[in-house]
Amino acid sequence: MKKLTILVFSFMLTFSVNVFADLASDRVALLNFYDATNGDNWDNHTNWGSQDVCTWHGVTCNEINTRVVGLSLYNNNLTGSIPSSIGNLTELRRLGLYNNNLTGSIPSSIGNLTKLVRLYLWNNNLTGSIPSSIGNLTELEGLLLSQNNLTGSIPSSIGNLTELKELHLSSNNLTGSIPSSIWNLTELRGLRLGSNNLTGSIPSSIGNLTELEGLLLSQNNLTGSIPSSIGSLTELTGLHLSSNNLTGSIPSSITNLTKLTSLRLNENRFTGKIPSEIGKLTELEYLYLNDNKLIGAIPNSIINLENILHNELILYSNCSLYAENSSVGSFINSKNDMGLYYIIFTNGNCINDMSAVYYLLLN
């Protein structure tokens, strides 16, 4: 019995030492973070430096107060850079540092935080590339790095993040093509890669992302056509592909996306006609098809788009669009201050396309 008591006591003592050692290690990592990000100038640094780490502003510990599991210091005037010692907070599940003034790069040690579920660093001044070690964060559900100054290509290792629901990398300076591995992230609800310098085409494998609700790829240098598999994304409410170099016709399968409230395909080089069944998209509030090379009659079904907001039906600066009958013309005039006249007046955006010019002359 005495040996058993000694054994239990020894185990409890070892456990306590390890627990205190882990929390002490977290404390050191947090104090390094405080110094690296000029903590004395934070808007709120309540209790930072006191003995009880779990009372520090923005810090969350687990239920038994033995490890740090959350660090949320958004909108808190953080400056400086994220230190590599952040990777020592190995039980961290939430890291929210958005809406600050952080500079420098994202340290590769971020890949040590393998229990992270949310990594929110958007709206800072971070530079450098996205570290490939981010692919180690296989429990991640939200990766939000938009509105920084990140450069380089999107690492293919992001394809390892099979639990990812939100991937936001917009408004950076990212280059290269979109990694093919991203099209296998079938849990994605939101994919926002707009306002970068991405190149390449949109592959047919985009049709794998059947849970997607928002696809924002505007303001890049994407080429090629929209694959017909886009019609598989029936949960989409927002499809923004504007300001690229996309060509070909608008696929008729796009009219399968009956939950769309915003469709923005403007400022590309699309040719052909507006899909005849565009009127199936009755939830649309925004329809931007301007500054393309579209031709022919505006479909009669467009009059079904009663939810289009005023001045948000934009069809000007195409090749040769016209209203086939007065009902279409009246609908367009009711939805836009400049009306049908302006659409016709700005036709002619096909001067280098002789087949389109011939069509325009005949109509």
Instruction: Of 151-155, 156-160, 359-363, give the lowest mean pLDDT range.
Output: 359-363
- What is the model's pLDDT at position 339? 87
- What is the model's pLDDT at position 20? 54
| Long-range contacts (CB closer than 8 Å, 24 or more residues apart) made by 129-133 | 129/105, 129/153, 129/155, 130/106, 130/154, 130/155, 130/158, 130/169, 130/174, 131/105, 131/106, 131/107, 131/155, 132/108, 132/156, 132/157, 133/108, 133/109, 133/157
Share the mean pLDDT of the chain.
92
pLDDT digit string, tens, across residues 2-53: 554 544 444 444 444 444 578 899 999 999 999 999 999 999 999 999 999 9
> Structural domains in the chain?
208-363 (3.80.10.10)
Mean of pLDDT values over 110-115:
98
Residue carrying the six token digits 């009755």: 282
- What is the model's pLDDT at position 324? 85
Mean of pLDDT values over 78-101:
98
- What counts of helices (H) and strands (E) characterise the chain? 4, 18
